[in-house]
Structures are given as C-alpha cells and as structure tokens.
Amino acid sequence: MCGIIGCIDRDDIVPTLLSGLSKLEYRGYDSAGIAVANSGVRVVKREGELNELVQRIESEPELDGISGIGHTRWSTHGRPSDENAHPHTDCSSRVAVVHNGIIENYQSLRTELQSLGHEFESDTDTEVVPHIIGHELDAGSSPRTAFYEAVEKLEGSYAIAAVFEGHDEVMAARQGSSLVLGVGDDATYVASDITALVDRTDSVVHMDDGEFAFLSTDGHEIVDENDERQSKTQTTIEWDAEAVAKGEHDHYMLKEIHEQPAALRECLRDRSTTGQFVTADVFNDDHLGPIHFVACGTSYHAALYGARLLRERGVPAQAFLASEYATAPPPIRDSTLVVGVTQSGETADTLAALRAADERDAQTLALTNVVGSTAARECDDVLYIRSGPEISVAATKTFASQLVMLTLLAHQTSLESGIGNADRLLSALNELSGQIQQVLDTTNAMPTARRLANSSGYFFIGRGLQYPVALEGALKMKEITYEHAEGFAAGELKHGPLALVTEETPVFVSAIGDDETVQKTISNAKEVSARGAPVVAVTDGTTSIERFADVALRVPETHRMLAPILVNVQYQLLAYYTARYLGRSIDKPRNLAKSVTVK
C-alpha cells in the first residue's frame, strides 16, 4: 500500500527521496510527495504518477536540505488530490509528516484541534498528526517531546516519519505497519519496505510495534514507548538492485512469471533431498493435530491447497480467511498450530489472526518471503519461501513457491506419521523447475488470450487440488484485466453458476491425469460445452478432454501434488496476455496495493 522513504545526511537528498519512491511505486498509489527540512520545511506533492511530482519538483528552485521524507499514497481517507497527498504539515509549516495505516480516532482529534483554532487543508486522517505536534510545539515542547506526545494520542495502525524546521533529525514511529531502517556508509534511511533501500544499503534494522526511531547525522537511535534505548541487530539484505529491475521484460509481472524456475530452485535448495526443514520446536508428533492456515488473497488460495494436502494425510487442517479468523477464531487446543501464509510478512489481517492465535496459546508458524518481516519475528518459527523481490501487485512466483513449501510441509507430515513415500515426490520436485521452463517456452497462451480477450466473463473450474488453482486463475484474470472472472469447484458449476454460461463466457478447465476425479471434471466441461461456452483445457495429454475442447494448453506430466503449479503458470500467462491486449495497467492495477497493511 502506501510507501514511506526518509533519509538524513545526503548531499543529493531530493534525488535520493525520488529514487526511493520509484522503488515503492509497485505497492500501488494515487499521489506522491516529498518534504525537505533545513531552516524551514518545504513540501512538494502531486496527485497522479510519480513523474507528475518530478515535473513539479523541477520547477522548484533550490529545493534541498539535510533531512527529508517522501510518500506514495493509496487512498483510504479522502479522494486522490494534491491536498490529500502526503506529506502534511501543521498550520505554520514547522513540521511535515508522512503516514501509512489508519488512525481510528482521527475524527475526535480533528474536532478537538479545530476547536483550538487549527485549520485543516485535507480530508485525511494523517493531517491530525502534524497539527498535534504543532500544538505541542506552541506549548513549548521540544520537537522530540512533541513527536512523542502526538504518537501517544493516536489509536489504530501507523508507520509515521516526520521532519522539523531547523532540526537535523528524521523521527519515525511504528504501530502495526512496517518500518525498517537502512544503515549506509554516509547516510541513514527509513522506509516502509526494504525494496526502497536496495540500491543504497544492504544493512537494515527492523522496527517493532511501539518503537520510535531518531535518525541523525551521527546514525540512529531506537527507543521503546518508555524511552528506553533498544539494541537491535542489523540484518543483511540478500536482494540487489538488479533483482528489482524489469530487465528485458515489458512488465514486472512477466519478468516474475519467467523467474519461477529460478525461484523454485532457490526455494528447494537444501530442502528437496530429505524434506526435513521445520524445526522440532513447532512441528513434531504433538502437532499432527489441528493445523489452521490463515491468509488473504493469493496466499489464501495457497493455504487452501496446503490444507487439502494435509487432510489427505489424515491431519485435521483448515484454511481460514485471516480477516474472519482475527475477529472470531475457532476453538484452539494445546496442539493447534496456526500457520500464517503471507508473502510480505506484513499483511495486517494475517498478523491480526496470528496474534489472536498467540493470545490463545497456539503455536504459530510464518510462511513468508521477507526475512525479518513482522510475521517472521513474531511467530514461534518461520519458513522462508526464498522467491526474491516480487514487484508486480499480482503475485506470481511467490504463489508457486508457497505451493512448493506447503507440499514439503505435507510431505514431512507424511514422514512423521510413517505414511510417506519420498522418492517419487522428491524426484518430481527436482524436475519441476525444468517443467515450468518447458511451459514458458511452448505455451500458446498468447494466441488464446487474443482470441478470448473480448469475452463477457471468464470461469475457471477444477476439482481437488486443482480447485485452489481455479480460484487463483480467476483472481489473476480479474486483478489485471478488470473483467469479471470466477473460480469454482467443478462440481458446483451446475448448482447455480451455470445460469451465467453463454457463448461469450469461456470456461477454463484443469484436467490432469485420467482418474475418476478427472473424468468427473470432464463431464462438467461437457456440460458447459453443450451450452455453447468455449472450453479451454489445461491438460497433460492423458485425458480425452482435447477431443471436444476449443483450445488445449499443455503441461508436462508430473506428480499429482505438483500438477497445479504447472497449470497455474498457464493461467498466469493467460491473464497477462489478456490484460495486455486490453491495454490494462498490468503491474499496478487500479485500486489495488501490493502489501495490504490496513484491516
């Protein structure tokens, strides 16, 4: 969602801020702005793309300072506009503030401040923060004390950064929204995302909830809510600037689809020989009991897949939407393990679900991509999927890696319970990267997308392990094409949705193998074909579905547990090419954000 960048002690502070903001564009935004501080505070902000801000800055003379902050905004309070863009200032422009998250008590704070004579220029919840700081400054407080006092009054979630006139510090605070410090040789940075820092430093410090950070020319200081200094370990970022560049591809999404073979090789490194990769502290014989997966969006589809695999092995497992789990958790026993599936490790709903589980004494496990993320730090243990940076809002390579990690988790469960047969699965895992590359090299998704790009809607159906992939295929299609798409368990199509099927609604069917389940799926495909709907089959060639399908997309034969990963690659490519033919904004689809850090 919204992005924050701040730094101090840079000769080229404006280019540094703009560079950081450019790295945060992928999170989704509708306006951007910066503030620089020296003897005064100067703010430049614009609705629209970052290049609109750059053009405005180029017309501003002598815009420079020793400290500065920048922001990309994804609207929550107030429409996109210059006035609602961040940073926001107090009445006298002595302080500028940027903010991620939602301040839940902003309306009462705003009313109180207005009664004291403060005039507001925006509709945002954020603007109350600089006005509270300004009020405290008027009362004689120092900048640091004023910042403390303002943050203490806030309720909700926030990551905040501020600069003051005549004061050589960047101040920051975190509660429920990610903030990380970057430690460089000649400067110190603060950002909402390590992606903003990869071309400046590879050393970061993750802030925790309730902490304040103060960046100065001498370095940085982190204190807790009691003003006690915290000693924090620096983490090395393994990503580099090249990893967050598009390279030869037109879009990050296409780049990341093509990175899946390499991502899975990294995910499987040191793991695919034995499958023993979860520490005994959270995963042992005692935890072959209830397993609750909590997740949102694409990660929820991965969780559905993982829960299905575990149930097939006799382990009671369920997948829950994190937003629902957080508000009404199901009964938790001593042996319950709650697994948070979250690409960023910062998804607010998933963190809330994990914290609700922790409050009920459940063991927690994070399955995430980001080292040092909040989920990774707060859970009892963590599994990293090692996908590298994913910039496109539409998740692709991280979903594939999540499925592989969940496959390994289910495989280890089989070993723990004495029912596992490792050889065939591990052999198939080691072949998977090459098979994905084969799909990428031979796919006919592009002409298929061209043929179907003007359809009135898209249906995806699958059974068993293919059902979560049907949901994910539909999600990708609607995310980046803005067209109606739905995923269904294949047997449910006839229980209502069939009423929507016409000659203008292609149905995508995953039919892998030739067992009884697949034959039932083929029967469902025939039902829609008989009603004139185009049938697009994703198949390994072992079934009869190609005889009546209008289009067939082929995938290599593989282990039943891994086939959904190959099917999903075809669905990703179909969504990508359909969106391209429709002229959509593929990497930054409208209204969406990469890391959803509000509930």
* Residue positions annotated with a catalytic role: 2, 594
Angle between helix 563-582 and 466-481 (nearest 10)? 20
Residue 373 contacts residue 346 (beta carbons within 8 Å): yes
Strand partners of residue 381: 365
- Name every residue whose Cβ is closer than 8 Å to that of residue 37 and which is 6 or more positions away in sequence: 65, 66, 67, 68, 96, 163, 164, 165, 166, 167
187 within 8 A of 10, measured Cβ to Cβ: yes
For the residues of 438-484, what is the DSSP string, one character each?
A: HHHHH--HHHHHHHHTT-S-EEEEE-TTHHHHHHHHHHHHHHHH-S-
> Burial of 223 by CB count in 10 Å (0-12 exposed, 13-18 middle, 19+ buried)?
middle
Start-to-end CA span in the chain (Å):
12
Q: Is the backbone peptide bond immediately before 61 cis, with ω within 30 degrees of 0?
A: no
**Distance (Å, whole) CA 398 – CA 15:** 31
Which neighbouring-strand residues pair with 101?
158
Which of 72, 77, 82, 88 minimizes the C-alpha distance to 2?
72
Q: Contact at 8 Å (CB) between 266 and 405?
A: no
Phi/psi at 538 (5° precision): -100, 115
φ, ψ for residue 375, nearest 5 deg: -60, -40
Question: Between the CA of residue 555 and those of 260, 537, 580, what are the distances in Å?
Answer: 15, 10, 23
* Host H or E run for residue 343: none
* 3-state SS class at 301: helix
Q: 283 CB contacts (<8 Å, ≥6 apart)? A: 337, 365, 381, 412
